[in-house]
Amino acid sequence: MGKNFSIAIVSLLLLLTSTNAGQVFDVKSYGAQTNGDITQALTQAWKAACAVAGSKVMISTGTYKLGLVTLLGPCKGAIEFNLQGTLQAPSDIESFKGKDGWVVFESIDNLTVSGGGIFDGQGQMAWQKNNCAKKYNCDILPINVRFNFITNSIVQDITSKDSKFFHINLLGCKNLQFQHVTITAPGDNSNTDGIHVGRSSQINITNADIGTGDDCISIGDGTQDITIKQVTCGPGHGISIGRVRVIGATLSNTNNGNVIMDNVGNPVLIDQNYCPNNQCSNESPSKVKISNVSFKNITGTSSTLEAVKLVCSKSVPCQQVVVADIDLAYKGSGSTTSTCVNVQPAVSGKQNPPICTKKI
C-alpha cells in the first residue's frame, strides 16, 4: 500500500510538472528549414503560441531568411520569443513595400525576447540609398525590430546587426527592460540609431554594447523615467537625452556623450541651435524649454577642445542646469574650453574646463 501510494504521488508530481511547464512551439514543426524562408512558419508558430499561456516560440541555431512579420498580441498569457539562430532580412528595399519595420512585436504583455540570436538587417544595399543627409523629406527605411505597445517585458541576450535604419524602436511601451543587448553596424553610417525610445515610460537599458555610427540611444518625445546603466557606446553620436538617467556608462570614439568619456567630441552638450545636415533655418529660436538638467561626475578625454557646450534658446533660456565635478582633458595639445549661451548653470566641485569661460 505504501509503495503504491508513493508511486501515485510521484506520478501526480510528474503530471503537475509537465502541466506547468511552458509549451514550446518550434518553427521547425511548422516547416521551417535552415537557409530557407521561415516567414510563414514563424507566423503560424506565433499564432499558436499566443493562444497558450506561458508558451515559447523557438528558433534554433542556424541561419534563416525572414520577410516582414508582425507578431501581434494580446496573448493568452506570458510568451517568450527564443531566438538562438540568425534571422536575415531581405536585402532589397523593394521587398518592404514602404513598410517601416522588419520584425514587429505589438500589443503584448509579459513578453520575453531572448536566446542569444541575431537579427541581421542586411542593410548594406539600403545604406547606399539613405539620402537623409541631403534631403529633409527623405524616404524612411525599415527598422530591424519594433516594439509597439509592449508592457512588463524583457529583452535580453540578443543582437541587432546592420539594420537598414534604426535598430530597435520603442513606441508606447511601459516597464520594458533591455539586458545584455548588442547592437552593431559600421561606424560611418547615419540614421542607424541603436535604441530609439518614443512615448514610453519605465524603460531600463542595462549592460548593453552599442556601436552603430549614429546615436547609441536616442530619446524622443513623450518619454519619461528612462534608466541607462553600464552601457558601452561607440562608435557613434553618443546618447541623445530627453528625461533620462545615465549611470556608469562608457562612451568611446563618439561625437556626444555622458559619464565616462574616451576620446569623445562634445562630451557635455546642450545645443538648441542644432540643425541636422544644415537643412533648417536658425532665424526662429527654439520654443522648447529645457530645465532641471544635471551633468555630474563626468570624467575622461575629449576629442574637441570645446568639451562643454551649453547653447540654449534665446526665446526660452535654460533653467536649473547643474554642472558638478567635471574633469575632461583634451586628447591632444592644449586645454579644454567651455561655452555658455542663454544659461547660467549652478557650478560645484572640480571644473575642468572652467565652466562658462566663454559666454555669447
3-state secondary structure the chain: CHHHHHHHHHHHHHHHHHHHCCCEEEHHHHCCCCCCECHHHHHHHHHHHHCCCCEEEEECCCEEECCCEEEECCCCCCEEEEECCEEECCCCHHHHCCCCEEEEEEEEECEEEECCCEEECCCHHHHCCCCCCCCCCCCCCCEEEEEEEEEEEEEECCEEECCCCCCEEEECCEEEEEECCEEECCCCCCCCCCEEEECCEEEEEECCEEECCCEEEEECCCCEEEEEECCEECCECEEECCCEEEECCEEECECCCCCEEEEECCCEEEECCCCHHHCCCCCCCCCCCCEEEEEEEEEEEECCCEEEEEECCCCCCCEEEEEEEEEEEECCCCCCEEEEECCCCEEEEEEECCCCCEEC
Q: Is 237 a catalytic residue?
A: yes
120, 162, 193, 214: the active-site residue: 214
Catalytic (active site) residue 214:
yes
Q: Which of 162, 193, 237, 262 is catalytic?
A: 237
Residue 75 backbone class (left: φ over 0; alpha: ψ -120 to 50; beta: rest): beta
Active site (catalytic) residues? 214, 237
